[in-house]
Chain A
Amino acid sequence: MEYLDKQFGVIELINGPVVKGSQMASFKVNEMVTVGERQLIGEVVSLEGDIATIQVYEETEGLKAGEKITATGSPLSLHLGPGMLGNMFDGIQRPLKKIEEISKVFIPEGIGLLSIDEDKEWEVKLAVQKGDVLKPGHVYATVQETLSILHKIMVPPYLKEGTVVEVKPDGKYKLKDVVAVIEGKDGQRSDLTLMQKWPVRRPRPSGKRVPIYKPLVTGQRVIDTFFPLAKGGTVGLPGGFGTGKTVTQHQLAKWSDADIIVYVGCGERGNEMTSVLEEFPALIDPRTNRPLMERTILIANTSNMPVAAREASIYTGITMAEYFRDMGYDVAIMADSTSRWAEALREISGRLEEMPAEEGFPAYLPSRLAQFYERAGCVETLGGEEASVTIIGAVSPPGGDFSEPVTENTKRFVSAFLALDKKLAYARHYPAINYLTSYSAYIAMLEEWYKENVAEDMLSLRSKMIRILQEEEKLNEIVQLVGEDVLPNDQLLILEIARTIKKAFLQQNALHKEDTYVSLEKQYKMLVVIWTLHESTLACVKLGIPISTIRKQSVFEEVIKMKYDVPNNRIELLDLLCEKITLSYDALRQKYQ
């Protein structure tokens, strides 16, 4: 590495988180700097002549004109290595636990750059021998970071191919210990440690993209069955306040079948992050039987933390996600909420006195959103494995109005759109995902997978259910004008079945032990039960049996309550329920014939 003379600039202007400095011609855009005597952390966002504009990641109170700005020589980068899982970081990867040790309850400014713990010793297994040829992305050591996740240490993408000339034995090492040395063809030697650095704003390289074909199974019925998500896909989750965005994001973080979850609390409530910290270690991953915290990384920039770090937090999250993807894992990143991130862009843009576009947002909002969502994908890694990053971005449209710029632009770049609906939330229909306006473009790509792994007719049952719900919506317009009583029996039946779909299937209780996570198999069987109910009752209606009589059969109630009554480990009870439905309505028909 070339030796950089320390460079200094001088503060000229201070306006909230935006600082301008002079004599900074040798600084680079996106370079990290420290600002003022207390060495606040900042990043150069633009240069004009020798004047640099800097966004500061910490509170600027007390800063004076004339104080020094110091260059660090590198862009805002993360330390990537063991020690991230189960931890909570701020927007620029400073561990909040460590900050608490330094400063107790409140977060002060000027505590400097911290990152993952460099003093902790890890039990390392070396995976290479002298003479092995390593390319970027190849694994040379492993650390069992948590019982559920094996951390693979890879040759950083910025090194060239080389031959291993030195390798240490298995044993305990710290992050910056050299465990192997490779020599390139040009004879240049590079030390390999347990960590690498990567600038957050640059996507990590990977091999070619693999077409999407696997779902991200979430255990949430309305998602898995109606609007499935895909590994490597992008999802927008918009909803006004009180519609259950955060609960939905938490449910996805808990139950998605991704290997690693990166949860970015971007400009949200402090207590929500605390609840994740309290709740997740106690929750058990149904697939590995280990605490969910072992696969989770939390990034918290609560709404009262400095706004510039909020802008960075999204990039910090996605860079960590890509790093684990490069090991061959399926990673899902939840960003709650991207609107706060967009607003941070707007706030900083306003302070930079840039020309605003729609609703005061900067004109580059759509391109930033696109760049972010494009970092998702199912890829072949440099190491040759298949892996994915799925992005689930919550959007908080002001006033619940989906026509605002962030929602509109998000819609353009995501393929699944789960619209949270205020009216459903008011009726405590949770998850309040609107079953008529939401969509998932992954249905077609996942069809094969569902046929092979769940059931041949899963998706056709799904379409039938959706048709009933659409029909109900139309009938509801009539009902609102003239009441239900005037409808003929077959239409009344549609209303009843639609209600059953909503109550028994779409509504899912996140707080209920059996209902919080439901396997695909059980979801399918529940669909079959509802369809059986529809078929049997339709036959009764055709005979002229009044709806009230049909509705009174006790088996109807059983269907509505099956989500609570049938435990997840006894789903064969649903087959029995189907038989019972058929028998019960056969008997009813016989009485009328």
Chain B
Amino acid sequence: MAHTSEQVLEGLADIVNEIAGIPTEDVQLDKSFTDDLDVDSLSMVEVVVAAEERFEVKIPDDDVKGLKTVGDAVDYILKHQG
């Protein structure tokens, strides 16, 4: 079943909270993973893998580099979800 934008943001916030310990309310569309949320490149991989499982999408390594903000990730997942 396709997820809505709100559901994806909420799910990502849970994932970022679990992996990087960032409060869920801080995970907003305009936030940069590295600059605002302090999610480093390795944690980003863990976030991506968790998101793949949760939203049933494939996010290849080459595409991970393009996901600068939470909004980028939400858009990517909405576009590619099964």
Is chain B a partner of chain A in the same complex? no
